[in-house]
Structure formats: C-alpha cells, structure tokens
Structure 1
Amino acid sequence: MNNTNKDNKTNMPKFKFSSYWIYGAIFIAIIAFQFLNSGDLASKSISKNKFDEILNDNDIQKITVVNKDVAQIYLTKEALEKEKHKKYTTSAFYRPGSPVYEYNFGDQQNFENQVYKAKEENKLIVDLRNEEQTSIFDAIIGFLPFIILILIWVFFMRRMSGAGGGSGAGGQIFSIGKSKAKLFDKNTDVKTTFENVAGLEGAKEEVQEIVDFLKSPEKYTALGGKIPKGALLVGPPGTGKTLLAKAVAGEAGVPFFSLSGSDFVEMFVGVGASRVRDLFKQAQQKSPSIIFIDEIDAIGRARGKNSMTGGNDERENTLNQLLTEMDGFGTDTNVIVLAATNRADVLDKALMRAGRFDRQIYVDLPDINERQEIFEVHIKPLKLAEDVNVEFLAQQTPGFSGADIANMCNEAALIAARKSKKAIQHQDFLDAVDRIVGGLEKKNKVITPKEKKVIAYHEAGHATVSWMLEHAAPLVKVTIVPRGQSLGAAWYLPAERMIVQTEQMLDEMCATLGGRAAEKIIFDKISTGALSDLEKVTKQARAMVTVYGLNSEVGNITYYDSSGNDAFVKPYSEETGKKIDKEISKMIEFQYQRAIELLKKNKEKLTVLAELLLEKEVIFKDDLQKIFGKRPFEELDVEVKTDETKEEPKDTVSEE
C-alpha cells in the first residue's frame, strides 16, 4: 500500500505557479468588493403609488438622487420597525444605513417639485440631495477596447520573441536582441574528440593548432606570434565540417559558443547586429574562447548584390557588425571565430580577408584511404559477419561523403534486419550502395519482353566496350533490375586520378556510348534509354573543348570563370560558338562510330553476354572473364561509379 501511494504521488502532476493567477485573484477581489459594497442589491424598486404612500406617511428620512435618474430612499428608524418594511430590511443583502427602496422617477424637475410640495404641506423631515456615482464596471467597459488591443500586442510580442525561452515569461520581449548561441564549457559533457573524426588529417592539423594556441598561448607568443582571428571550413555538404567543430569543442577545454548563421536573422530591424554584439560580449567575458558559426553564408553574402530597392538591408547591417567585431578597434581579446559553409563563392570579400578569417580550411570529399577510416568508425556499433570487406567497401563508394557512408552503414543494418539476419553481411552493404546510388528496386515495374531485351543489349554494350578499351574503367557488375529512374546499370571501378588525360576521357566517352551503339547494331534502331549517356558525354565533350582546352581546333583556351561572374555573359563570339558546337558534335560522333566498330568485331560475345544478362538479370566481373577472357589491360580497381540506362522523361522506353 505504501508503494502504491508513493507511485500515485509520483504520477501526480506537479504544482506550477503562474503569474496569471495573481491577475485573476485581483480581478475576483475587485468584483467581490464591488458586489459587497453595492447597496443596489438590497434596494427594492417601487412604483409611483408606493412612493406617494411612503412619502405621505413621513417614513422617508433621506432621498438621494443618483445621476439625475434614480432616487435612493432611506427610511427613518421608526419606519424600519414597521411591519410592511421589515420584509425588506431583514433580507440577507440589506446592510444598515443603506437605501431600502429605489424609485425611477422619470423627469427630475417634476420629482423635486413633488417632494418639496409634500414637504411643505405635510411638514415632512425628508432631506433631498443629488449625487454623481460611477460604476467600476462602466469604467472597465469604457476601456475594454484598449485593454484588448494591449493584450493582443503582448501576445504577439511574446510569440515573436520566443515565449517559453530562457528569459522567463515576463522578459521575452526584452530578450529578443540577446544571442542564441549555445555554450559548451567545462560543465558541459561534450564527448566528440578528434578520435571520432576519421580522415580530414590536414583539416584536423590546422584546427589542432588553434586548440593548442588556446591551451598554451605562451608557446606561440614567446616568439612574437599572434593568435589567429578566425578559420573558415569550406567543403561540400556532409564532409564533416560541423563534426570537426564539435571535436574542437571537446578538445579545446575553453568556452565554446555554437550557433547557426540563421540565428542572427530576425524580422525586427537591428536585432541581428544586437545579437552579434551580445555574442562577442559573452565570448570576451569568458576569453579565451571559441565562437562557431555554422552556415555563415546566411549572413555573410556579398553586400550590394541583392539590394534591389536600395533600402536598408538588415542582413548587411548584421554582416557589418560581424566585420567590426572580428577586426576593428578594441578587438584584441583571445576570441577565435570558426565558421563553416559550402558556399564560399558567395561570401563577402571583406569577410574573407586576412585579419578576419586568417585561414581557409578546405574539407574535401574523402579519398579511398579516408573512406576506409570512416567506415571503421561507423561499423564499430554494428554486428558484422565475417565476410565483410571494409577495404572493398571503400573502393565501392567513390564520391561518398562521411554523411553518405554513415547513411550507407545504417541502410545495410536495416536491410539485414529486414531479412531477419543475425549479422550484417557483405552483400547487405552492396545492396545498400545500390539502394543509395540507384534508388529503390522496383519489382513491380511493367516492362515488356521486347523492352527488356533492348535494355539487356544496351547494358551489354556498355560492358563490352569498357572491357575492350585500355583507359576505360574496369567493370564490376551489370544489372537490368529497375531502380529509381534507371532501367538498368553498369557498375565500374575507375582509378582515382588527380589529372585526366585526353585519351582517358575519350575512352570513357566511347564506353558510355556503347549502349546506344549496341542497340544500333543488333536492332538497327535506337531508343530513348540512352538519355543519361548522351547527357554525360555532351558534358564531357563540352568540358574538353571549353574548359580544359583539349581540342586542337579551338586551341588552348578556357572559357571557365571560377569566380562565377560569367553567368549572364557569353565569353565568346557567335563564330566561336558555332566552332565549339561543331567540335563537340564531331568528338561525340567519332567516339560513337568507334564504339560501333568495336561491337561489330565482338558481336557474338555481345550476344552471349546479353542473353546471359536476360537469364540472370545481374552478372559480375567473373562472368565477363568467362566470355571475353582476361582483360588485356592493367586494372586499377580503386573506386566504383555507375552508368545507368535512364527512362524516357515520360517514364517509358520506346519500343524498337
């Protein structure tokens, strides 16, 4: 029984005091005061005949005319003892000294004349006086519209300033200019360290130096060095910029203020600049300290480009205040600003100069070794089977960021659980790659036998041409199982190259066009399935001609502008444009004819491969070796990419 009582007490809602209760109590007290002090409750309204009777009997001691409208009638002591009045004076609402009757007389002048006349004729002792009384309810009703407007204003101000936040119920309006940064210090348990950040060795080295400076500044200042003002982490999404900042918070041992660039944005003028001032004021009070601003492009965009009206831009005011706080008069405190963005090209030049962000740390997509390290971190909590090959998984995931690898490991665990496995096998990871890159497998997609045959020969054409070319990437597997928008896909294992030569790009273009070439040779028709292939080779050819200067006719010229200022300007003449289009078309058609010639020489093997693909739906590198023999070129099995047979935009494939 005692335990039950304890549980009931534990489950009972806790008593919470609210300031609104005070307002309610005051309102009830006012109502009660008015209720108890009002004599109107005990007064009986009487008619003219009744009034004349009381007046002629000389029972009236005093008449008070209230607001020139109603007469309150007070009786004499003798009259109060009379039986006809006792039923009113003995009421629970009656208080001694209050009026017993009320008489609505109509015209005041006639009423007064009647009283004075009766007083003279009957020698009455009645006293007549006038009073002006104001009811508190009348006053409240008069001010009610203003009270409602004030309450509505207070309600919206509380909502816009984040009611329920840390400043209390009454101080929300006045805390809107305060910084929203989250503080991590020695009292905060931050478990992320540099050990949790796989890869990113160069970035970790740069950031580690900042951490060391904050821990032991005398090591650097003894040689005359100065603390850097800021470091900007730049890189594609998912590469670990925010994770690196979390590791700094765990390693530094100094106060760490973390917030997003959008936290400075507010609808009120001057709030952003006020929050910047408050943020740096807090950081200076706790210096040495670190400020981390994620997605700084929200406030750091170049000034003057987006102001269409010429008016005052709140975002620019916020940026101006940030520039002043980072490097202006009186900014000699040990406060370092870390920031992260994947849009460094849009940031203001004043923000990027030395003295503000002294270092720009590029956080790139991980290479094969870094991907292997990232896999090692993310598979630790997973229950793996013995056949899992982490090195091969790193090879299978080119272009994957750290976030993509984490998603892949989680997807593999979900796939294994869906199949009721007790451990995650290597094939589950490969299925996760297919799921992430190619999309969800569509088993119920309606494909006719004729369309399926076209798709099989298309993918077999890719595989055959890539197998026969020296610089084309070696193939891993071919599938005609529909996934996402693709009807089939060929998976390759290209080498990671820092530079790409002309022959390598041309061989890749030829292998990409092998699918359409196979359709032309076998069916003497072409389909819309080569949409993604054509898009890919057109981009490659245009890049070779206009970006990399790899075309002899156009020459060693590039029309690429890394600053992005040529978005609305064509950097070449109409004549040069025609030459560029001609060279792009010539390059693509030459590689297409090259693919046709290769497939004509190996038509029998192409047919065998396509029939095997129709039978199995998925074939691997070993199947190609049985058909074509060992690949005559040295294989650099480093990474994987896909070459997909895309659907027609209307989600159909034209029949041959």
Structure 2
Amino acid sequence: MANLDSFDKNTQLDWELEETLVDRRQRLPYKISRFFRSTWLWIGLITLFTFALFDAGVMRFLITVMELGLQLAIIIATFLFQFVLMFWFLSRTRMYTIMPGAEGVSFEDYRGQPEVLEQARQLVMLLRGVRAFEGAGGEPLNGLLLEGPPGTGKTWLAQAISTEAGVPFYYVDTSSLQAMFMGMGTLKVSRMYAKARKAAKAYGAAVVFLDEIDAIGSRSGVSSVGGGTQGGFGGFGGGSMGLLSTMLIEMSGFSLEHGWRARLRTWFYKNILRRQPPKPQKRVLTIGATNRIQALDPALLRPGRFDKKMRIDAPDLEGRRDIFEYYLSKMAHDESMDPMVLATETPGYTPADIKYLLNETLRYALFDGRRYMTYVDFQLAQPEHEMGLRAPIKHMSKEARERIAYHEAGHAAAVRLFLPEHRISRVTIIRQGMAYGHVVHYPARESYQGMMTRESYLNRLRVAVAGKAAEIEFCGAKNQTLGVGGDFAYIRSVLYAMAMAGMLGPLGGALSINPQNGMLIPSQEMGEAMETLFQRTLIETRQALRERSEMLRALVERLLEQEEMLADDVRAFFDTYGLHTPDPALVRDGELIDLLPPPTPEHAGGRKPAADEK
C-alpha cells in the first residue's frame, strides 16, 4: 500500500489537467457557434427580410441575384450531366447477348471432340435441373474454364452449352472491362454480374462467357502480350486496379450474402415474415476461355470460382474426319474430296484451320471457273495456308534449279526409304512463302510425339539431313545451298530432344548455363555426342541415296520438268521403284483398319495393303 504521508498535496492528477465542459463553453469559437444557432437570430433575419421585400430596390436586387444563380446552376448542371454521361459510357462493357429462342450454335454443330461434348451435355443437364440438384443438397457449378490452343472451339462450345440449356448467354470482351479511370473496371464487372443475375431470376440460370480471361485474370495485374503485366492510366493501375478482386468476389457470390441489399433482405424475412431468409441462389455460370492457363491467378482457379476445368486440344484423326464431313455437307464438292483422306493430310489442324482451309479451297475452285471444289483445289490451297503465297522465281539459273531439285528429291526419297509409314502429298521446287521448295509428308495413321522411340527419331533425323546429303552427293560439297539452314533448325531440335531423353548415352539432361544471357545450353560432352550422331547419320543417308542414285536422278528430271508433283504423281513414281505408299489407317482396339474403300482392279497394282490385309 502506498504511503499517504508521502503524497504531495500540491501535485495535480492527470484528470485534473483535462479540459472540462465549462472551460470549453468559455472559448470564443463555441460562443460564436452558439450565437448563430440562436433561434432569436434567425427570427430577426427572417423578419428583416420580409419587410425588405416591400421595397422595390431590394426586389430588383433579389431578382438579379436569382437570375445569376439560375444561370450558374444551369452551367453546373450541364457540366455534371456531361461528366456523368461520360462515365456512363466509359462504364459500359462490350457485352453481346443471345437470349433463349434465338438462332445459335447447338451440340449438333460441335464436332470432333466427343469426350468434351459428353461433359458439356452433363453440364447442360445440371443447368436445366438446377432446382433438383439444389434440393438434393448440391451447389450449382460456379465456373467452367476452357483451356487449349487457339481455334479449338472454346467459344463455339460455350455458346452451344447456353443454347442447349435455354438460358441467356452473355459474351464479354474482357479487354473492355479495363478502363482509364480508377474504379471504372470494378463498376463494369459489378454491372455485368447484376445484369446476369437479373436474367437468371427470369430464366432460371444465365451464362457469362469471358473470352481470353487471361487479359484480366493474370497474376499481379493485367496480362500483356509478352506474358508480363502492365499498369493503367499514368502507370498507377488505372481502371484495372481491383478488377480481379471484384471478379473473385462476384464469382464466389460474396456480394449476395453481404451488403445493404442482403441486410435489407435479412431484416424483411426476420421481422416481417418471421422466418430465416433462404440461401441466396447462385445460378450464374461463368465460362472462361484461355490459351495461357499458367498466367492466371491461383485464386481464380480454386474450387468455388472455376470449379471445373476442361482442356480442349486439336482433334485427332477421327475428330478431323467428323469436322470435314460437317463442313463438306454445307459446301459444293465432288467425290474426290474424301473426308478421311483430308483428315490424314491435316495432322494438328484445329476446327478453325479446317474451316478456313475449305473456304480457301472453294475460292480456288471459283477462280478456276467452277462452283464446286476438288481434291486438287485442296492440294493447292493447303500450302498457301501453311506457308504463304506462291511466288515462282522466273529468272533462276539452271544450276540453281538443279540444286533445289536435288535437295527436295533427297528429302522425298528419304521419306520413302526411312519413313515407309508416311504419305507424301507434295514435292515442289516452286517458291512458297520463305521456302524455295518443300516436301510435305505426314503419317498414314495417327502418331504421338511422346511415344516416339530412338529409331523413330533417327529416321526423322535421316529425312532432315537428306537434303544436305543429296546436295553433297550429287552436286558436290562446294555447291551446297543455304536451303540446308532451314533443315538444321529441325535437326537441332531432334538432337536436343534425343539428348534430353538420354538417347545419346548417360549424358541425358547434361546442361550448362550460358554466362552471357543465363540460358541453358548443352554441355560440351552433350554437344560432342550430338555432333557425332549427326555426322554418322549424314554418312548413312549419303550411302542410302547413293545406292538409289538412278531413282533420285529420275525424280530430279521429273521435278525440273513439272516443277511440282502432287500426291498421285508422287505415289505413281515411287511405285515403279517398289517403294509403295501406305493408305490411311486407324488403330482401333489394337487392330489396324484400312480407312479407304477397296481399290478397283485396274488401280490395285500400286496400292500397299494395310497390315491386316497382308
């Protein structure tokens, strides 16, 4: 206990130093405010103003003041109206609406991806039976992310889902969600979801499709073309600040359970209806599409936002055949346009590529004086689509043409010798795009990069070096062209893939860091192994072409005469030398199935049967 005798009576406590209400009322500012709040003051002013109205001079003064005030008010109102109108236009989103009943894309129009289509049908059933699903204790799907290369049909599938479900479909250009001014982007997102929820109440559900969602959903800002992020107006983020956060809140439905609307709804149910408010209905399905899923923020990919993710790749052989059949049913063509043959000649093509290619094929036919397209039109249109316009060199010397012919003939012969399962669709010495000549070949049946063996890589390497081998063998080592430069880009990629897979010995994966740019490069040991394999492959390929020199020279003469040989000519030429071209085939349940109809007797001689026909 403290000693009271030691307490100094002259010492002031902390609470004694605080300002009291009496002290505060004695201050001048408080007296002035109290004077203006006085009732008698205002009564006196109103009385004085009333008596002043009876004076004509005072009235004229008041009318003048009122006119000036009215003009000033009109000017201010006009300025505010323009300002509000400008922000209203800036807050509008480029959103295109397709309402139920309008003509749209259906599942019958979506071809080439049966597995994806089955998942889409299940999703449509959930959209239609959302009440039954909720009654069983489930929660509707919040988001569906479609990921895959460009042109694979992500937008097409999203529109088909909405059409089949019979709900409103909102196509949103995500770049329009960005804005110049702070807060405008978040306002756009809020208005977009408010409109979708209003439609969902009327139709049971609604679909919001965000194309190229990586433009707003990337990590730490807005995605740029180079894969980084960028700010907005003035470098401070602009109208894009908070855009992703608002998107996350709207997708998770947090705004439905909180805010003044939710509080008013809760108060109405508890105080007026005397019962607990029902759970908010989340019936807006957000479908996003991107080809760069690695750039998206992880918070956007978690369950509760984008619950389901579907990867849509380029269709396989049967898928491409289905797509060709769909488009050919709407376009004029003759019997030479076999969907299966076209599908085998377009590995890696997306539905968008196929549609464009057939459109270009029809253009070739129309400018040739026909209203229907043929297989020859297709063969002419395909290289233009892949490589660029045909630009023949009219004044090339004879020696240069021969070197190009030997180069391409070497590639073509190597395909028949080392890749017997491949089909050659074109051999040409006509310049197309950046190439002075080219050979187009493709597997007769579907092949997969990840399933290639060491021997498969070696055969592809032999085909790639065959152009250089033919030039050295038949034109001389000193007469090589720069055409081998394009081949070496592919040669290096094959050698690097083999080295990284450990196919060049125990050095697999041996890399070193380039001190100049910090990039990974092959180590010295790996580089020596790659060079050794290349030299050995080049010697083997030269030997194989030397043994077939008669065939190669005949092919060169044909190329110099015709300049271009298409699939039928190439097949007929190699058939005379016993190198037959395989027909398109499909492996199903371990069995190789020939996809072309049986040949007629007069054409059966040069046809190589499938494995099950031997």
The normalised TM-score by structure 2 is: 0.70
Q: Which residue of 2 aligns with 1:185?
A: 99
Letter of the 2:535 counterpart: E
**Pair 1:550-2:503 in alignment:** yes
**Pair 1:475-2:414 in alignment:** no
Cα distance 1:475–1:174, how it changes in 2: closer, same or farther (>3 A)? closer
Structure holding more helix per residue:
2
Q: Which residue of 1 aligns with 2:3?
A: none
RMSD of the alignment, in Å?
3.3
1:587 CA displacement: 2.8
Letter of the 1:300 counterpart: G
Instruction: Tell me the alpha carbon deviations over residues 56-98 of structure 1, each in whole angstroms, 9 at most, x when there is no partner.
Output: xxxxxxxxxxxxxxxxxxxxxxxxxxxxxxxxxxxxxxxxxxx
Q: Which residue of 1 aligns with 2:249?
A: 324
Distance 2:383 2:338 in 1: 17
Q: Which residue of 2 aligns with 1:334?
A: 283
The SS at the match of 1:232 is strand
Distance 2:405 2:305 in 1: 58
Instruction: Tell me the alpha carbon deviations over residues 443-482 of structure 1, each in whole angstroms, 9 at most, x when there is no partner.
Output: 3543211111001110111112221115673433311122
Q: Which residue of 1 aligns with 2:396?
A: 447
The answer to whether the 8 Å contact 2:185/2:243 transfers is yes
The SS at the match of 1:233 is strand
1:175 CA displacement: 4.7
Cα distance 1:259–1:479, how it changes in 2: closer, same or farther (>3 A)? same
Once the two structures are aligned, what percentage of the paired residues are identical?
A: 27
Instruction: Tell me the alpha carbon deviations over residues 527-583 of structure 1, each in whole angstroms, 9 at most, x when there is no partner.
Output: 10112111111112112223x34332313x4989xxxxxxx85468xxx62233333
1:235 CA displacement: 0.9
Cα distance 1:542–1:417, how it changes in 2: closer, same or farther (>3 A)? same
**Pair 1:195-2:108 in alignment:** yes
Q: Which residue of 2 aligns with 1:27?
A: none
Cα distance 1:452–1:312, how it changes in 2: closer, same or farther (>3 A)? closer
Q: Which residue of 1 aligns with 2:172?
A: 259
Cα distance 1:230–1:300, how it changes in 2: closer, same or farther (>3 A)? same
1:328 CA displacement: 5.2
The normalised TM-score by structure 1 is: 0.66
The SS at the match of 2:425 is strand
Distance 2:85 2:241 in 1: 28
Structure 2, unaligned runs of 5 or more: 1-59, 222-227, 258-279, 588-614
Q: Which residue of 1 aligns with 2:333?
A: 384
The SS at the match of 2:285 is strand
Moved more, 596-605 or 467-476: 467-476
The 5 A counterparts of 1:590-601 are 590-601=536-547
The SS at the match of 2:216 is helix
Q: Which residue of 2 aligns with 1:605?
A: 551
**Pair 1:315-2:223 in alignment:** no
Letter of the 1:467 counterpart: R
Aligned pair partner of 1:299 in 207, 216, 221: 216
Distance 2:303 2:122 in 1: 17
Cα distance 1:623–1:347, how it changes in 2: closer, same or farther (>3 A)? same
1:604 CA displacement: 2.3
Aligned pair partner of 1:496 in 424, 431, 446: 446
The SS at the match of 1:300 is coil
Aligned pair partner of 2:147 in 219, 223, 234: 234
The 5 A counterparts of 1:328-367 are 329=254, 330=257, 332-367=281-316
Letter of the 2:120 counterpart: V
The answer to whether the 8 Å contact 2:183/2:239 transfers is yes
The SS at the match of 1:361 is strand
Distance 1:544 1:608 in 2: 35
Moved more, 602-611 or 326-335: 326-335
Q: Which residue of 2 aligns with 1:114?
A: none
The SS at the match of 1:513 is helix
Aligned pair partner of 1:532 in 467, 483, 486: 486
The answer to whether the 8 Å contact 2:196/2:206 transfers is yes
Q: Which residue of 1 aligns with 2:272?
A: none
**Pair 1:507-2:459 in alignment:** yes
The 5 A counterparts of 1:19-34 are none
Letter of the 1:242 counterpart: T
Distance 2:506 2:112 in 1: 43
Distance 2:186 2:172 in 1: 15
Q: Which residue of 2 aligns with 1:204?
A: 117
Distance 2:369 2:469 in 1: 43
The answer to whether the 8 Å contact 1:472/1:504 transfers is no
Please say which structure displays the higher CA radius of gyration: 1
Distance 1:260 1:408 in 2: 27
The SS at the match of 2:229 is coil
Letter of the 2:137 counterpart: G
Q: Which residue of 1 aligns with 2:198?
A: 285
**Pair 1:583-2:529 in alignment:** yes
Cα distance 1:177–1:453, how it changes in 2: closer, same or farther (>3 A)? same
Distance 2:389 2:123 in 1: 44
Distance 1:627 1:511 in 2: 21
The SS at the match of 2:541 is helix
The SS at the match of 1:442 is coil
Distance 2:324 2:459 in 1: 32
The SS at the match of 2:495 is helix
1:206 CA displacement: 2.1
Letter of the 1:514 counterpart: A
Distance 2:77 2:367 in 1: 58
Distance 2:572 2:123 in 1: 54
The answer to whether the 8 Å contact 1:230/1:357 transfers is yes
